[in-house]
Amino acid sequence: MSLVTETPRGGRKATATRTVEWTAEILVGILDSTPGRVPDLFGDLTVSRRRVVAVDTKFHAIHGDRLRALLARYRIEHPDPVIVQGGERSKTRATVEQITAALEAFDVSRFGEPLLLFGGGVLHDVGGFAAAEYRRGITYRMFATTLVCAIDAGFALKVAISDPFKNRTGQYHPAEAMFTDPAWFRTLDHEQILDGTGEIIKWAVVEPSAPLFARFERHGPRAVAEGFSANDPDALAIMRGTIKGMMHELADNPYELVTERRSYIGHGMSMAFEPQVTHGQAVILDILLTLMIATRRGIVPPKLRDRIVTVIRACGLRLWHDVLDTDRIVSALADTMRHRHGKQSIPVPNGKLRTITYMNEITPDEVRQALDDLYATAHAA
């Protein structure tokens, strides 16, 4: 669909539309797959078998040999994988350029030779960013090796680097396909499981239709203890429910032109707590403060707030951290407004779950009070 019309001043106005499609799937046994069983794992091999591969350091150390064997079974032509260190500190221009240099050295085509990424959210950010820019955009496929990437970042449109400001420079460029295998979570640190749990809880408290929160209350703490990696149908249902809900959330507002958004819960203040705590833990601290403010405002009944606090505690997530500070939060809220048409637009479930109120004009006094309330809650017996 395109259109050119004459402007009142005799110039021309053009309209262009771009459509993007992407998938997110949980597959079991990815490293054992064969072209016969999962023919599309690395994209359409009839167009080209050439691929550049980037792999997270830790995943490479544990699964490097099996990954190499997998690529060989699919007869992928590839140079040595680019090895990328995990962690927020790698979200730099230098890491992006390391991947771009590999794309250039292998002379990757604009079409049909997707970049393959095996790693977590950081690799998604830097690899997705490199793909977004190279030849003005090539496709990429994300193999999400961490929980947080599997249920959130790995199928998001957003990619960004934090060089020099957190996520200040970025693009909207989703992986054409995201795959994850819960078996990969077995070798994650428990901190990384908690990181992903933060984003699952984020979605569970704002999910508009499915009974995700109730399911998480019952089975979440056990799934966390198992690292979401056991053959536990409830853990799988929680992950699938989160992916399903977040995919709708993304597809309904892919470019964030609407700045009232359910999934923004936990994301209006949390950047002030990173990198002192992981992203998921920062999101949880933000949600807790949001609940404290909303309860004082009469939006969230104390009973609902307490249910959410209880399940967060049961998962072993922190309710308090010394990074929490009024000035940092006020400054984060000011930056948030610059992203949201000048409004804070902090979502919170209003009374019953499933419906949402967007809070605005949260004052420094309210933040101070919320910190007091949260401190007391966290330190109660």
Q: Which sequence positions are flagged as catalytic?
A: 158
- For residue 375, how many other CB atoms are within 10 A of its CB? 14
Q: Which of 64, 87, 211, 254 binds a copy of itself (CB under 8 A)?
A: 254
Omega before residue 164 within 30° of 0, cis: yes
What is the contact mask toward a copy of itself in residues 176 to 215, using x (rule: CB under 8 A)?
----------------------------------------
Please state, in angstroms and rounded to a whole number, the distance separating the CA atoms of residues 149 and 346: 23
Q: Which of 70, 84, 122, 250 binds a copy of itself (CB under 8 A)?
A: 250
160 CB-contact burial (10 Å; exposed 0-12 / middle 13-18 / buried 19+) = buried
- Assigned token pair, 277: 């705590």
CB 123 within 8 A of CB 99: no
Stretch that binds a copy of itself, among 18-26, 182-190, 205-213, 222-230 (CB under 8 A): 18-26
For a copy of itself, the binding residues in 255-314 under the rule CB under 8 A are 255-256
Number of residues binding to a copy of itself, judged by CB under 8 A: 65
Q: What is the DSSP letter of 227?
A: T
Q: Does residue 36 belong to the site contacting a copy of itself (CB under 8 A)?
A: no
CB of 81 to a copy of itself, least distance (A): 21
Match 């994850």 to its residue by tokens: 180
Q: Among 111, 137, 281, which Cα is nearest to 199's?
A: 281
CB of 140 to a copy of itself, least distance (A): 15
Q: Does residue 371 belong to the site contacting a copy of itself (CB under 8 A)?
A: no
Which amino acid would we find at residue 82? V
Q: Among 90, 236, 99, 101, which Cα is nearest to 163's?
A: 90
Q: Does residue 46 belong to the site contacting a copy of itself (CB under 8 A)?
A: no
Q: Which of 22, 143, 213, 216 binds a copy of itself (CB under 8 A)?
A: 22
- Phi then psi for residue 338, to 5 deg, are -65, -20
Q: Does residue 339 belong to the site contacting a copy of itself (CB under 8 A)?
A: yes
Using the minimum distance from each CB to a copy of itself, give the nearer residue, 131 or 299: 131
Q: Does residue 158 belong to the site contacting a copy of itself (CB under 8 A)?
A: yes
- Assigned token pair, 188: 């994650």
Q: Does residue 39 belong to the site contacting a copy of itself (CB under 8 A)?
A: no
For a copy of itself, the binding residues in 77-116 under the rule CB under 8 A are 93, 100, 104, 107-112
CB 180 within 8 A of CB 154: yes
Q: Which of 35, 39, 79, 137 binds a copy of itself (CB under 8 A)?
A: 137
Please state, in angstroms and rounded to a whole number, the distance separating the CA atoms of residues 87 and 50: 28
List interacting residues with a copy of itself (CB under 8 A): 2-4, 7, 9-27, 93, 100, 104, 107-112, 132-137, 155, 157-158, 160, 165, 168-172, 174, 240, 243-244, 247-248, 250-252, 254-256, 338-342
